[in-house]
Structure 1
Amino acid sequence: MRGVHIHRVDVRFGDCDPAGIVYFPRFFHLFHEAMETWFSAGLGLSYAQLILGRKLGFPAVHTEADFNAPCALGEAIAVELRVARLGRSSIGLEYVVRGVDGVLRLTGASTCVVMDLDPASPSFRRAVAMPEELRARIEHFMAGESAVPEDS
């Protein structure tokens, strides 16, 4: 699919409440997992290397979800990630979660900022402009093209 990253998940015992359905805060964790896997699979960049090496973080400053149907223990689900908005120092991500049967389970969205994680920097723990290389990769992903620009 064009401009879509799919993160597949098997619902495990630890994801569920006593009723055997996924405890709602777990979906926010799954949104973050989808974002992490998107960096490597969709953008060709190691999320860990961005944080530890380049000292750039991507914390969520807003997140939301609307629940349509429960997900149960033992089910396989797919978390679809799309880029909804690309700002100077932020990324708007949209999520759609479906069961393997294709039934919509929930939708969600997060806004993440690009944060400077270098303690030696004057902008430590503040939003910073997105590096141009990262912006180019995200734009290529959004267009459904290879995330790595040709001139890289």
Structure 2
Amino acid sequence: MTKTSTLDIDVRFGHCDPAGIVFFPNFHRWMDAASLHFFMQCGVPPWREMTATNGIVGTPLLEHHTRFVKSVTYGQRITISTSIQEWRNKVFLQRHEIRRGEDLICESVETRAFVIRDPQDPQRLRAVPVPADIRAKCE
């Protein structure tokens, strides 16, 4: 069983296109924020602290699949519910459901990995096995 966190977003005029509909990249920006929020709600320190203790610099997005159901406009509040759908050796699948009240707006599954800087080339990132202590905090 995995934990679920929620993050509320108040949609503003600047989040929308000229038709008054949220511009779709904003959903991905909010889901990225919800990803970090999930880990922090589970007791995982911010990435800058993790970098200092175990070298992990974050969980970059490797792949995402999103299905949009309804539109959203400014003046509305949406809630992002985030959980881990599946743990694998070096990656995990993180699920986001975005709702406006009871209405499903969109749902997404992201593939992410915990990464460190490559010791041979610090400009490159390298995936590492999912840390057991982080996984335990999130289950």
Q: TM-score scaled to structure 1, two decimals? A: 0.80
Partner AA of 2:67 in structure 1:
D
Partner of 2:105 in structure 1?
A: 105
Whole-Å separation in 1 of the counterparts to 2:61 and 2:44: 21
Partner of 1:38 in structure 2?
A: 38
- Higher strand share goes to which structure? 2
1:91, CA displacement in angstroms? Answer: 1.3
Partner of 1:150 in structure 2?
A: none
Whole-Å separation in 2 of the counterparts to 1:53 and 1:74: 41
1:53, CA displacement in angstroms? Answer: 5.2
Partner AA of 2:114 in structure 1:
V
Partner AA of 2:70 in structure 1:
A
Q: Percent identity?
A: 23
1:52, CA displacement in angstroms? Answer: 5.8
RMSD: 1.9
Question: Closer, same or farther in 2 for the Cα pair 1:78/1:133, shift >3 Å?
Answer: same
Contact 1:39 1:47 in 2 (8 A): no
Partner of 2:130 in structure 1?
A: 130
After superposing on structure 2, the runs of 4+ consecutive aligned residues of structure 1 that deviate more than 6 Å are none
Q: TM-score scaled to structure 2, two decimals? A: 0.87
> Cα deviations across residues 80-125 of structure 1 (Å, max 9, x unaligned)?
10110111111101111000x31111111101011113x5x24851
Whole-Å separation in 1 of the counterparts to 2:45 and 2:96: 20
Partner of 2:96 in structure 1?
A: 95
Partner of 1:63 in structure 2?
A: 64
Counterpart secondary structure, 1:43: coil
Whole-Å separation in 2 of the counterparts to 1:137 and 1:66: 29
